[in-house]
Amino acid sequence: MDAILLAEQALNGLQFGLMLFLLAAGLTLVFGIMDMINLAHGSLYMVGAYLAASVATASGSFVLAVLAAMAGTAVLGALLEGSLLRHLYQRDHLHQVLATFGLILMANEAVRMIWGPEALSLNPPQALSGPVELGAELFYPAYRLMIIAVGLAVAVLLYFLVAHTRLGMLVRAGASNREMARIMGVRVRLVFTLVFAIGAALCALAGALLGPLLAVQVGMGESVLILAFVVIVIGGIGSVRGAFVGALLVGMVDTMGRTLLPMSLRAVLPPSVAANLGPALASILIYVLMAGVLFFRPQGLFPARG
């Protein structure tokens, strides 16, 4: 166990956590304010990644690709909210789950029809494709550093937006007591559409940034959706601060667990048992974390509702 490994894993955990935060921020607001379970959130992430890959191939500019993906997905999100999801707010959760699950299937098929079944490749900008030396013997991929920087910047921006702007005030009011906010004259419809569009844009940002690290493929949204739900349940539904803390916790626990758990098991168990048990335990660690948080704080770490 040495310092370099710890430092590198901390950066990896931070990077993973920040990307989860981008996904969870939109999800938690939609869930918290509109009381709407949107399973199709992951589909917006997928669409964002596909848009980014297409624009990057067509224009050759990664920055342009990210911006276009965010804009395009935000518009799509707003259209989706205005046309379909709006009618689901008053329904119970089962209806919402069914309808948005249907959206997932439709989005996957649509993407398959438009872009084909094979995964697309999205490459990081050439300047960021190598490693950066951060200190003695600590090399870290430049691209991942950039992702960390962007993730932190967005977190600060969101904090400012939620804590210090009029829109943020309305959002917080909606999250803590939707009915009261409505009675006080908040134009909830407009707020809802705006929140949904912002959430979609953040999804697209995550999709575009993770594209070069993962693969742009049909169904990429589903696995990450589950993690995003874990994050908002840990953080407290409706709370952006909770999403931030929850995302970093999940990112760190998953990354550290994948290294440290097999290592420490090997110290106490025979190698063959440890080799089987280690990866299996590491992959359920975040769910153990969630269960633990729910046991002690059923409302999550930072409940939005008093």
Tell me the window of 48-56, 128-136, 153-161, 285-293 that interacts with another protein (CB under 8 A). 128-136
Beta partners for 138?
135
With residue 284 as reference, give the H or E element that holds it: helix 271-296
User: CA-based angle 25:221:83, to the nearest 5?
Assistant: 70
- 103 vs 302: CA distance, rounded Å: 30
Q: How far is the CB of 171 from another protein (least distance, A)?
A: 31
Beta partners for 139?
133
Q: How many chain residues bind another protein (CB under 8 A)?
A: 39
Work out which of 84, 167, 194, 213 binds another protein, going by CB under 8 A.
213
Interface with another protein includes 269 (CB under 8 A)? no
Q: How far is the CB of 119 from another protein (least distance, A)?
A: 4
Q: Where are the alpha helices (DSSP H) in 130-239?
A: 142-164, 166-176, 178-183, 188-210, 220-235
- Residues between 1 and 60 that touch another protein (CB under 8 A): 2, 4-5, 8-9, 12, 15-16
Helices 240-268 and 271-296 pack at an angle, to 10 degrees, of 150
- 13 vs 249: CA distance, rounded Å: 9
Q: Cβ closer to another protein: 102 or 116? A: 116
- 271 vs 241: CA distance, rounded Å: 41
Q: Cβ closer to another protein: 97 or 215? A: 215
Going by C-alpha positions, the residue among 75, 25, 56 that lies closest to residue 203 is 25
Work out which of 59, 61, 129, 165 binds another protein, going by CB under 8 A.
129
Longest dimension (CA), the chain: 66
132 touches 139 (CB < 8 A): yes
Helix (H, G, I), strand (E, B) or coil at 137: coil
Interface with another protein includes 287 (CB under 8 A)? no
- Residues between 107 and 126 that touch another protein (CB under 8 A): 112, 117-119, 121, 124
- Residues between 143 and 172 that touch another protein (CB under 8 A): 143-144
Interface with another protein includes 79 (CB under 8 A)? no
Q: Cβ closer to another protein: 180 or 280? A: 280
Work out which of 105, 152, 153, 275 binds another protein, going by CB under 8 A.
275
Q: How far is the CB of 49 from another protein (least distance, A)?
A: 12
Q: What does the binding site for another protein look like in residue numbers (CB under 8 A)?
A: 2, 4-5, 8-9, 12, 15-16, 112, 117-119, 121, 124, 129-131, 139-144, 213-215, 217-219, 255, 258-259, 262, 271, 275, 278-280, 283
